[in-house]
A = this chain, B = another copy of it.
């Protein structure tokens, strides 16, 4: 299945894609649906076709959005580090997320960088789960760009303040269920800025895969349906270039993962 939240002629709804038609699911959005209905029951709930449906932020209300840094072997090497024993984790908020075509509005003068990432959507409550349980608890996969304000990220030891600017992490456009997509088989993760490819790697090279991350996180905190785990970004970010490159007002960032879809977001700096 390909699931999302869509805006349509009569409102907003959770929805499932049926060919090229979005069909209504019985919830206001996909966060509410996953909180209310086991994933196995979703297929049987598809209702009316929705006119003029356009996918928006699929998961507007995750309780937890947890990101893994330094998880692609080549990105780790470009930052000058060794392959890690443990995942480096930091959080964002539901407030940090924005839609697949939304503008990225930020104050002028910040060092804004791109980070294309595979995002994992939790489908069942996970608490001290092993890898097998964690894998079975995945609702699906979507695309994210962990847009980072590098000057704030590196103001202190903790990255959080550069990673949690409201409405700057685009997500979507759809959540693809695991029966249709296997990151272990290798999904192409790509970022383009104004059409120029800046990142391209495969999820085959992830140091910690989706099940590893969910199991590890669930050791210290419960994960619930609709929560998100971002799996880290491959090499090619702007801050690691020589000279460093950051996003400018009007830049168009495209984030694509094969088998899922593409985010297309324009940077808008305010005065």
Contacts and interface: CB of A to CB of B under 8 A. Distances in A.
A222 interface: yes
B221 A156 contact: no
Contacts of A164: 91, 220-221
A64 B89 contact: no
B155 A221 contact: no
B158 A89 contact: yes
Contacts of A88: 156-158
A180 B160 CA distance: 33
A251 to B, nearest CB: 20
Contacts of A159: 157-158
Looking at chain A's contact residues, the main secondary structure is: loop
A19 to B, nearest CB: 38
A88 B153 CA distance: 10
A96 B221 CA distance: 8
Interface string A54-66: 0000000001100
Interface string A95-106: 110000000000
Copies of this protein in the assembly total: 2
A36 B57 CA distance: 27
A90 interface: yes
B157 A157 contact: yes
Interface in A149-185: 149, 152, 155-161, 164-166
A246 interface: no
A90 B89 CA distance: 11
Contact of A156 (B87, B166, B220): B87
Contact of A160 (B85, B152, B156, B160): B160
Interface in A72-99: 84-91, 93, 95-96
Given A85-B155, A88-B158, A160-B160, A165 B221 contact: yes
Contact of A158 (B63, B90, B95): B90
A164 to B, nearest CB: 5
Contact of A89 (B63, B84, B160, B220): B160
B93 A64 contact: yes
Contacts of A165: 220-221
Given A63-B93, A166-B220, 11 more contacts: A69-B157, A85-B155, A86-B155, A91-B91, A91-B160, A95-B221, A96-B221, A157-B157, A158-B158, A161-B217, A161-B220
